[in-house]
Amino acid sequence: MVTLRDQRDRIESAKADLASRTSSATSMDRMVTVTMNAQNSVVGLKFNTTKYRSMPPEQLARTLLDVLETARLQMANTAVEVFGPLMDQRDDLRAAMTGGTEVDKAFSALWKEAPSDVFGRGRD
């Protein structure tokens, strides 16, 4: 069973891992590259050509929106990759938080017999 401390440490490690990552996407015409961080903030915007100077504004806007969305989706996939392994432990964590572990079941009779001031628990 995963303990709460182990789970917290794994979550903190995953958060640090994700925070250190970025995702980059380049438009289909290779004109622009966008880089985003884990908070979906744009941390880089690079025009690889000067094609944008002669583009109609609507086309430039559509190209930028498309590449931003691609970078955002890539970062979302990265988040799933980083946090996905932790999801397998949800049931163990939920049981530990709600007192539903095998250890809790084994001691349940003892808890019921304990005076109300012992361990903050009392008779049910």
Checking if the pLDDT of 26 tops 60, the result is yes
Residue 124: pLDDT band with limits 50, 70, 90: very low
In a domain, 16, yes or no: yes
- 122 — pLDDT class (breaks 50, 70, 90): very low
Is residue 103 in a domain? no
- pLDDT (0 to 100) of residue 95: 60
pLDDT tens-digit map of 34-65? 999 999 899 999 999 999 999 999 999 999 99
Is 33 a domain residue?
Answer: yes
pTM recorded for the entire structure = 0.65
Number of domains in the chain: 1
Q: Is residue 122 part of a domain?
A: no
Range of the domain at 38: 11-80
Is the residue at 6 inside a domain? no
Look up the CATH number of the domain holding residue 24: 3.30.1310.10
Mean pLDDT, residues 8-17: 90
pLDDT(15) > 80? yes
Q: Which long-range contacts (CB under 8 A, 24 or more apart) does 4-13 make?
A: 4/93, 4/96, 4/97, 7/86, 7/89, 7/92, 7/93, 7/96, 10/86, 10/89, 11/86
- What does the pLDDT read at residue 86? 80
Which has the higher per-residue pLDDT, 70 or 110?
70
Q: What is the mean pLDDT of the chain?
A: 82
What is the per-residue pLDDT across 89-116, written as a single tens digit (0 to 9) for each?
Answer: 656 655 655 566 666 666 666 666 666 6
